[in-house]
Amino acid sequence: MYHRRDEMIIIIRLLPLLLLLLQQQLLLLLLLLLLLLLLLLLLLLLLLLLLLLLLLLLLLLLLLLLLLLLLLLLLLLLLLLLLLLLLLLLLLLLLLPLLLLLLLLLLLLLLLLLLLLLLLLLRRRLLLLLLRRRQRRRRQRRRRRRLLLLLLLLLILLLLQLLLQLYYFYYYYYYYYYYYYYYYYYYYYYYYYYYYLLLLLLLLLRLLLLLLLLLLLHYYYYYYYYYYYYYDYYYYYLILLLLLLLLLLLLQQLLLLLLLLLLPLLLLLLLLLLLLLLLLLLLLLLLLLLQQQQHYYYYNNNYYYYYYYYYYYYYYYYYYYHNDYYYYYNNK
pLDDT digits (tens, 9 = 90+) for 253-284: 777 777 777 777 777 777 777 777 777 777 77
Rounded Cα–Cα distance for residues 160 and 100 (Å): 31
> Using an 8 Å Cβ cutoff, are 129 and 233 in contact?
yes
- 277, 54 in Cβ contact below 8 A? no
**Structure-derived torsion over alpha carbons of residues 40, 42, 43, 48, reported in degrees to the nearest 10:** 130
- What is the widest separation between alpha-carbon atoms in the chain? 161
* CB within 8 Å of 259: residues ≥ 6 apart: 32, 35, 36, 39
| Residue type at position 226 | Y
Nearest to 235 by CA among 79, 59, 47, 4: 4
Cα dihedral 203, 206, 211, 217, rounded to 10, equals -150
Alpha carbons 244 and 19: distance in angstroms, whole number: 10
Q: Tell me: the pLDDT tens digits for 129-141?
A: 666 665 555 566 6
Average pLDDT over residues 187-206: 62
**Residue 255 burial (CB count, 10 A):** 20
Report the distance separating Cα 52 and Cα 46, nearest Å: 10
Q: Is the pLDDT of residue 298 over 50?
A: no
Tell whether the model's pLDDT for residue 194 goes beyond 70: no
Radius of gyration of the chain (CA): 39
Mean pLDDT for 3-17 is: 63
- pLDDT value at residue 214: 67
Half-sphere exposure (CA, 13 Å, Cβ side) for 243?
A: 20
Closest C-alpha to 67, from 304, 302, 295, 305? 295
What's the burial of 98, exposed, middle or buried (CB within 10 Å: 0-12/13-18/19+)?
A: middle
pLDDT value of position 186: 45
Q: How far is CA 134 from CA 126, 229, 234, 260, in A?
A: 14, 10, 11, 50
3-state SS class at 240: helix
* Residue 225: band (very low, low, confident or very high) from pLDDT cuts 50, 70, 90: low
Long-range contacts at 298-302 (CB < 8 A, ≥ 24 apart): none
Helix (H, G, I), strand (E, B) or coil at 268: helix
Residues in the chain: 332
pLDDT at 4 over 70: no
**What are the Cα distances from residue 314, in Å, to 185, 206, 304, 309, 322?**
78, 99, 15, 9, 12
What distance in Å separates the CA atoms of residue 7 and residue 238, rounded to the nearest whole number?
12
What is the pLDDT confidence band of residue 143, given thresholds at 50, 70 and 90?
low
| Percentage with pLDDT > 90 across the chain | 0
pTM of the full predicted structure? 0.46
Residues 226 and 228: their CA atoms lie apart, in Å, by 5
Q: Is the pLDDT of residue 2 over 50?
A: no
Please say whether the beta carbons of 192 and 180 come within 8 A: no
Q: What average pLDDT does the structure give for the chain?
A: 67
Q: How far apart are CA 285 and CA 2, in angstroms?
A: 88
